[in-house]
């Protein structure tokens, strides 16, 4: 397997075109994109771990930032799209399950999973208030909404958003 290089002068567009995987002719550009495509990543400062929403594999990849090594692949995140991390908590939106999952950044255990509207995408967390917000794109039957929920499960409500953004895969 060809090792990807991420140093000075690294150009992600050039990598996607295949220049860094050129030595491995088993993979063309489209295969490379399907295999390695991810939507979002965040560094969780307290744990010093990077959490990557890996949409193509319905999982979250965990990387030790300081040791520069892969720690774990967390399965069970269908259509993982957005990820945010703060104060030991990681939230991941799951488009394939219309949910948002809360993960402990240290134990890597999934804590509560919150139902959301269709196609949750972006996510934000306000740890000081124990609140999370998931932006749901919606579908033909349900419009776009912001889902607000307490991380302690004390509250959950939605706010309608006008219009629906253009569909994206």
Q: Is 142 exposed, middle or buried (0-12, 13-18, 19+ CB in 10 A)?
A: middle
Query: What distance in Å separates the CA atoms of residue 153 and residue 111, rounded to the nearest whole number?
Result: 11
Look up residue 120 and give its two tokens.
């949750």
- Amino acid 32: pLDDT: 44
φ, ψ of residue 42 in degrees (nearest 5): -145, 145
Domains detected in the chain: 78-160 (2.40.10.500)
Indicate if the pLDDT at residue 155 is higher than 80.
Answer: yes
Indicate if the pLDDT at residue 4 is higher than 60.
Answer: no
How much is the pTM?
0.71
- Amino acid 33: pLDDT: 44
């Amino acid at each position: 397997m060809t090792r990807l290089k991420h140093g000075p002068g690294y150009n992600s567009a050039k990598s996607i075109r295949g220049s860094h995987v050129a030595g491995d002719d088993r993979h063309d550009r489209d295969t490379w994109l399907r295999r390695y495509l991810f939507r979002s990543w965040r560094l969780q400062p307290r744990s010093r771990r990077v959490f990557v929403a890996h949409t193509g594999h319905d999982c979250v990849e965990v990387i030790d930032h300081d040791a520069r090594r892969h720690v774990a692949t967390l399965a069970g995140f269908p259509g993982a799209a957005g990820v945010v991390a703060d104060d030991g908590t990681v939230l991941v939106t799951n488009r394939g399950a219309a949910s948002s999952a809360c993960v402990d950044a240290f134990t890597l255990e999934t804590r509560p999973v919150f139902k959301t509207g269709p196609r949750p995408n972006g996510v934000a967390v306000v740890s000081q208030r124990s609140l999370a917000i998931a932006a749901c794109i919606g579908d033909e039957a349900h419009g776009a909404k912001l889902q607000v929920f307490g991380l302690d499960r004390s509250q959950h409500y939605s706010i309608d958003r006008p219009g629906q953004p253009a569909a994206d895969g």
